[in-house]
């Protein structure tokens, strides 16, 4: 008997899920965000906490999302609606997928602006804009970009058009071909760049910074940042992986597939760190520079490297594609829902959502220059959205989703999904989710908020 499938189709081979989910996970979060959050939070200590968060929180929550998606083969909103109609869960749970969808939407509004910076840098890279650039030159190039809303608007719009066109297609068809080639190329390019960066930069200080453990550096803020980044980087807490799970073949073990995704995600983040930090230390760039870290340090390597123009072009092109494969997963929840519930064509649904994101994105990019007023807690709109989504919405979404799966969805439903002929990871996963991931997320999130 053919297996049941979702209206959006099914991945053409079991392995494609791994590529698609890794495509969603690997994005600006790994290459842009991971190094700067590591820098802001003191290096090695953060890395250890981050790995623990990936294993004990990220992985179980990822499995929970994917398993629920595959069990019901529908979009998150209809799924919870259906469960509540069948009186399996309370109707109030319907708020959770809505919250998840809104989180994705909000993340995309600033994600697209940063992806726009990547396109702007791709443009500079191919036109030789980094040639012999100095550190001062690189900083002012980035600051100039932030001060020019018209250019940011152009690239933000280009990126959103790409997102809409890609999400408008069926993800189960278009995406897989791209990701299958992209991911290996990305890893190899990063590896080459990391070797080069360690050769010309200050390798020992970078390794010392990234891998040296020290207790004093661990505070609740660090732990909260690590949980937030782990969830962000694995794309969990907002239903994107839920949707991808719905298109996954039954032949694949969920636990195994998700472990591979976590491994790839961590590998790419570490490689990005190894590219950036040797330069940061040898050029005396402030490790705490925040969101500008990547965009200031990378042009310096490329501008002073033999064949740098070529490498720069490849690198920023990959960054844009990696951002694109992540961005589409943020819109997938609402697009799949509009398509399944109201029979709106995918392209139309994508256009509708994309336009809304584009509008809010304009306010976000203006908050970096003309409207650079501190809205709350001394943060502008851009910073506020970044912090609000990764420190509040994602953890809350992930907690609620995990509680739903661990405590309210009937156990046999999940057990069927997790126990395959080849593997039985159910008990291990179920207990970790219930007794480690959920309590840890609750304690860490609350403690982070009240500023322990």
Contact footprint for ligand TRP (CB under 6 A): 24-25, 27-30, 104, 107, 232-233, 235, 237-238, 240, 326, 329-330, 394
Smallest gap, in angstroms, from Cβ of residue 364 to ligand TRP?
Answer: 16
- The DSSP 8-state label assigned to residue 248 in this structure reads -
Rounded to the nearest whole angstrom, what is the least distance from the CB of residue 395 to ligand TRP in the complex? 11
Instruction: State the minimum distance, in angstroms, from the CB of residue 394 to ligand TRP.
Output: 6
Contacts (Cβ under 8 Å, ≥6 apart) of 447: 220, 223, 224
String of DSSP letters for 160-208: HHHHHHHHHS-HHHHHHHHHHHHHHHHHHHHHHHHHHHHHHTTHHHHHH
For ligand TRP, the closer CB: 201 or 245: 245
> Which is closer to ligand TRP, CB of 133 or CB of 336?
336
Taking the least distance from each CB to ligand TRP, the nearer of 25 and 224 is: 25
Distance CA 33, CA 42 (A): 14
Task: Confirm if 270 and 98 have CB atoms less than 8 A apart.
Answer: no
Nearer to ligand TRP, 10 or 272 (CB): 272
Helix axes 95-126, 394-403, angle to 10 degrees: 140
**Closer Cβ to ligand TRP, 80 or 330, answer by number:** 330
Identity of the residue, 163 or 194, whose beta carbon is nearer to ligand TRP in the bound complex: 163
The Cβ of residue 307 has, within 10 Å, a number of other Cβ atoms equal to: 8
Q: How far is the CB of 109 from ligand TRP (least distance, A)?
A: 13
Q: For residue 45, give the 3-state DSSP assignment.
A: helix
- DSSP state letters, 73-117: -S-HHHHHHHHHHTTSS-GGGGHHHHHHHHHHHHHHHHHHHHHHH
Rounded to a whole number of angstroms, the minimum distance from the CB of residue 363 to ligand TRP is 20
CB of 88 to ligand TRP, least distance (A): 26
Least distance (Å) between residue 398 CB and ligand TRP: 9
- Residue whose beta carbon is closest to ligand TRP: 29
State which residue, 317 or 394, has the beta carbon closest to ligand TRP.
394
Tally helices (H) and strands (E) across the chain: 22, 0
DSSP element (H, E) containing 278:
helix 254-282
d(CA 300, CA 140): 12
d(C-alpha 113, C-alpha 156), whole Å: 5
Q: Between 34 and 430, whose beta carbon lies closer to ligand TRP? A: 34
* Residues sharing a CB contact under 8 Å with residue 254, sequence separation 6 or more, in sequence order: 63, 66, 67, 70, 245, 248, 417, 418, 425
Minimum CB–partner distance for residue 321 and ligand TRP (Å): 12
By beta-carbon proximity to ligand TRP, the closer residue of 103 and 367 is 103
Residue 37 Cβ, how far from ligand TRP at the closest point, in Å? 11
């Amino acid at each position: 008997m053919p297996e049941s499938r979702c209206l959006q189709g099914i991945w053409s081979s079991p392995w494609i899920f791994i590529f698609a989910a890794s495509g969603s996970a690997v994005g600006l979060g790994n290459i842009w965000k991971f190094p700067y959050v590591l820098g802001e939070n003191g290096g090695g200590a953060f890395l250890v906490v981050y790995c623990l968060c990936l294993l004990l929180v990220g992985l179980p929550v990822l499995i929970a999302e994917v398993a629920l998606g595959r069990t019901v083969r529908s979009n998150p909103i209809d799924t919870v609606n259906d469960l509540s109609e069948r009186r399996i869960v309370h109707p109030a749970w319907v708020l959770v997928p809505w919250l998840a969808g809104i989180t994705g939407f909000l993340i995309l509004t600033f994600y697209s602006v940063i992806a726009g910076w990547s396109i702007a840098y791709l443009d500079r890279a191919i036109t030789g804009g980094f040639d012999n650039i100095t550190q001062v030159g690189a900083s002012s190039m980035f600051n100039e970009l932030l001060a020019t809303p018209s250019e940011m608007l152009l690239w933000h719009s280009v990126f959103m058009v790409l997102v809409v066109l890609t999400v408008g297609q069926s993800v189960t068809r278009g995406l897989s071909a791209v990701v299958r080639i992209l991911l290996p190329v990305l890893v190899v390019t990063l590896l080459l760049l990391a070797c080069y960066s360690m050769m010309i930069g200050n390798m020992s200080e970078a390794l010392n910074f990234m891998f040296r453990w020290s207790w004093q550096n661990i505070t609740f803020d660090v732990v909260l940042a690590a949980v937030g980044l782990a969830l962000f980087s694995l794309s969990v807490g907002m239903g994107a992986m839920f949707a991808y799970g719905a298109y996954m073949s039954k032949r694949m073990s969920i636990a195994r597939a998700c472990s591979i995704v976590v491994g790839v995600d961590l590998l790419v983040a570490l490689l990005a760190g190894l590219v950036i930090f040797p330069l940061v230390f040898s050029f005396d760039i402030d490790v705490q520079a925040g969101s500008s870290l990547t965009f200031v340090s990378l042009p310096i390597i490329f501008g002073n490297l033999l064949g740098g123009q070529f490498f720069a072009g490849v690198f920023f092109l990959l960054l844009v594609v990696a951002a694109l494969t992540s961005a589409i997963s943020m819109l997938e929840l609402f697009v799949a829902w509009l398509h399944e519930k109201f029979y709106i064509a995918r392209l139309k649904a994508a256009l509708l959502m994309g336009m809304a994101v584009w509008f809010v994105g304009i306010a976000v990019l203006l908050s970096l220059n003309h409207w650079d007023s501190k809205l709350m807690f001394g943060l502008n709109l851009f910073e506020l959205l970044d912090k609000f989504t990764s420190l509040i919405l994602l953890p809350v979404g992930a907690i609620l989703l995990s509680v739903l799966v661990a405590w309210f969805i009937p156990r046999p439903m999940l057990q069927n999904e997790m126990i395959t002929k080849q593997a039985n990871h159910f008990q291990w996963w179920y207990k970790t989710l219930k007794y480690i991931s959920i309590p840890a997320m609750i304690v860490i999130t609350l403690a982070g908020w009240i500023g322990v």
